[in-house]
Structure 1
């Protein structure tokens, strides 16, 4: 098994954390900014989006980090991370999809401005709107965690916590004022008890 991507990428780190939870030790082949160019024909033949990560498992090639995490949990038959029962699985996948479609879009402008220092993302009004939207979405997560009292999809750790945990750590590390979100803070403490999060989440990389 091989993962193509760079260890600093938040989406690669989702997959690496999932592998720790599953006891897998795939080979990491570095691709992306600062490493091998993902716009080469070799990489584009694997992922036409030119994005990392890509998983190669024998003849199987997969891209999209959340899909890769789902595949690996299913491959290892880890129903604690991704339940087989339809309603329980849907609750996990609901929060995974929310992370990819809603939360990611909420932090994009502010992250590019504050962390990446992108010259194209320095409009004050757009930055403030981005910060406000990021905080609002994190507030939704805080409300969910306060409701469950444990983890994102319920009382058991799941893949939803992997993908959301990395996003929450990015929010926490961004150089801006943060509202108090006590349920998020307690949840991050619980995540920090897991070796995979220590290696790939609370590791100093936003």
Structure 2
């Protein structure tokens, strides 16, 4: 049984749970992080000295860092399908996974924190506007990219779609107007219809 530590309000935990569900893995999830605490305890820090979620334990193998966990699970259980074996296709997928962490997430995080986790009277309108402008430009790029393909790296669902979709889910859920992106929205609707995304992309933000 795959053991996962982390709360479902975490975008990074969402990635791992969705991946495990796509792969049909038997999993046990333990609430951790945020209001659930646990991450500063000695037992948890023995699993992840960073005190962050998620962490998995796969038999005796412990792994942290969400996108690495997604890669590992897909490489182990879906090599050649969700995790491409062709090197160019694989690294195209990994490129988009890294882009989610290094470009899209840093742009979207300030707006998310201000609009969802900051009381209205304490919000910084300038910070929200700056974050929104950065994200809208990236969403426009994604929309253009998806105008030419069904999924992030072509005509089939791969490891690349999960992290990017979790980030888009968070952006779409923010309580504010956003520009329409028909190709991005078409792709997102397809992913929301996947059975394995239930309990991930249908959760409200928190």
Bin the TM-score by the shorter chain. Answer: over 0.9
Using the alignment, how far apart are the partners of 2:120 and 2:56 within structure 1? 33
The residue aligned with 2:62 is: 61
Deviation sequence 1:141-167 (CA, Å, 0-9, x none): 11111122x011111111111111111
The residue aligned with 1:86 is: 87
Matched, 1:158 2:176: no
Deviation, structure 1 residue 120:
11
The residue aligned with 1:172 is: 172
Using the alignment, how far apart are the partners of 2:12 and 2:124 within structure 1? 27
**CA 56–132 in structure 1, closer or farther in 2 if over 3 Å, else same:** same
Which runs of 5 or more structure 2 residues have no equivalent in the other structure?
A: none
Q: Please say if residues 112 and 121 of structure 1, whose CA atoms lie closer than 8 Å, have aligned partners that are also in contact.
A: no
Which runs of 5 or more structure 1 residues have no equivalent in the other structure?
A: none
Q: Please say if residues 110 and 131 of structure 2, whose CA atoms lie closer than 8 Å, have aligned partners that are also in contact.
A: yes
Q: Please say if residues 2 and 56 of structure 1, whose CA atoms lie closer than 8 Å, have aligned partners that are also in contact.
A: yes
The residue aligned with 2:78 is: 77
**CA 164–121 in structure 1, closer or farther in 2 if over 3 Å, else same:** farther
Mean Cα deviation higher: 72-81 or 85-94:
72-81
Using the alignment, how far apart are the partners of 2:161 and 2:78 within structure 1? 18
SS at match of 1:62: strand
CA root-mean-square deviation: 1.7
Deviation, structure 1 residue 73:
0.8
SS at match of 2:57: strand
SS at match of 1:27: strand
- Describe how 1:1-206 pairs up with structure 2 within 5 A: 1-117=2-118, 122-148=123-149, 150-205=150-205
Q: Please say if residues 116 and 205 of structure 2, whose CA atoms lie closer than 8 Å, have aligned partners that are also in contact.
A: no
**CA 52–191 in structure 1, closer or farther in 2 if over 3 Å, else same:** same
Using the alignment, how far apart are the partners of 2:67 and 2:121 within structure 1? 28
TM-score calculated relative to the size of structure 1: 0.93
Deviation, structure 1 residue 193:
2.0
Using the alignment, how far apart are the partners of 2:57 and 2:28 within structure 1? 10
Using the alignment, how far apart are the partners of 1:23 and 1:198 within structure 2? 13
Deviation, structure 1 residue 58:
1.7
Mean Cα deviation higher: 13-22 or 116-125:
116-125
Number of residue equivalences? 205
Deviation, structure 1 residue 119:
7.9
SS at match of 2:7: coil
Deviation sequence 1:129-150 (CA, Å, 0-9, x none): 11111111111111111122x0
